[in-house]
Amino acid sequence: MAAELPDSLGSAVTLGADLAEALPEFRADAESRMRDTITVQPVTGHTTDETTGAVTDTLGAAVYGPALAPHNGACRFAVASVQESDPQAGGATYTVTRGRVDVPVGAFVAATGLVVTCVTSEMDPYLPGRRFRTQAPSPANSQATAYRLAVEEIV
């Protein structure tokens, strides 16, 4: 049974129907704030530098990016919450910074571990070139105005 509430004139308003009608506009408004572009790629393997021992991800074809219509890599970087940590591994201390990348609903199906590379940023000159890794699959939210993806920066 749909929830009905009286509006200011006393007639019944169905919230579900009103939301369904307004959702495309809400999504367009959310997408209008997505002024940056990214490329999203899966990790297909790893290579190890014989001299330094440094391990580098091998990346597959982009699942989202500037050359892929209809959204062409549009996104918005946001701070999900401040949760930096300084774990140690192999005698080295490193900083993990958590953030969020918002993309249009239906842009791609996110999975844990995808590499997100900032291509352009209209308002932050230090964002292009930075890389992040997705921390969870696409959220399940049928009324979302954007997919809000948890990411950690790859340093």
CB-based contact 114:63 (threshold 8 Å): yes
> Is residue 138 in a domain?
yes
**pLDDT tens by residue, 10-64:** 555 688 888 899 999 999 999 999 999 999 999 999 999 999 888 889 999 999 9
**CATH value at residue 41:** 2.40.10.270
Domain membership of residue 141 (yes or no) is yes
4 inside domain = no
- Maximum C-alpha span of the chain: 76
pLDDT tens per residue across span 113-145: 999 999 999 999 999 999 999 998 888 888 999
2 found inside a domain: no
Residue 6 domain flag: no
In a domain, 108, yes or no: yes
Tokens of 103: 């993309």
Per-residue confidence (pLDDT) for residue 67, from 0 to 100: 97
* Domains contained in the chain, number: 1
pTM: 0.81
- In the block, tokens 């990016």 appear at 65
**Considering the chain, what percentage of its residues have pLDDT values greater than 70?**
81
